[in-house]
Amino acid sequence: MTVYNQILRYIEAHLKEEITASQIATNVGYSANHIYKLFKVYSPYPIMEYIRRMKLFHALCEMYTGRRLYDIALDYGYETPAGFYKAFKAVFGCTPSEYKKTIFRKKAFLHLLTM
């Protein structure tokens, strides 16, 4: 398994926690600087942006479980619903409720797979 894949697995396993590049580096046995460089090569996003997007994508998936949006936002590290809404809108172009009402119903959510 490549170091990059180890990083992705670590992120996936810890999405509901605060994740830093230093934590990831310690876990995979490389420096944080090396982790940043790997993301410049293999990802269209810097590592912290990638983590933010993954948290939001997983939160979006949980929106359809019936859980309250407030609880989902807290699970992924957002202290307030307003912070979650702002981050969600920055990534997906609409609020979570707008997404649920329009985009998901139209089954246009496949664009998320290109994240």
Task: Tell me the pLDDT tens digit for each residue of 3-29.
Answer: 999 999 999 999 999 999 999 999 999
Q: Are 112 and 57 a contacting pair, CB within 8 Å?
A: yes
Same domain for 67 and 39, yes or no, is: no
CA 107/CA 10 separation, integer angstroms: 30
CATH code for the domain in which residue 105 is found: 1.10.10.60
Same domain for 74 and 108, yes or no, is: yes
- Check residue 85 and give its pLDDT: 94
Same domain for 55 and 104, yes or no, is: yes
- If you search the block for the tokens 């246009």, which residue do you land on? 108
Query: Considering just the CA atoms, what is the radius of gyration of the chain in Å?
Result: 15
Predicted model pTM: 0.84
Structure tokens at 6: 């180890």
Residues contacting 63, CB < 8 A, separation 6+: 69, 72, 96, 99, 100
Structure tokens at 109: 């959510």
Residue 104: which domain range?
49-114
CA 1/CA 22 separation, integer angstroms: 20
- Check residue 115 and give its pLDDT: 47
Same domain for 98 and 64, yes or no, is: yes
The structural domain count of the chain equals: 2
Same domain for 98 and 60, yes or no, is: yes
Tens of pLDDT along the chain (115 residues) come to 699 999 999 999 999 999 999 999 999 999 999 999 999 999 999 999 999 999 999 999 888 888 899 999 999 999 998 999 999 999 999 999 888 777 656 555 555 544 4
Same domain for 64 and 109, yes or no, is: yes
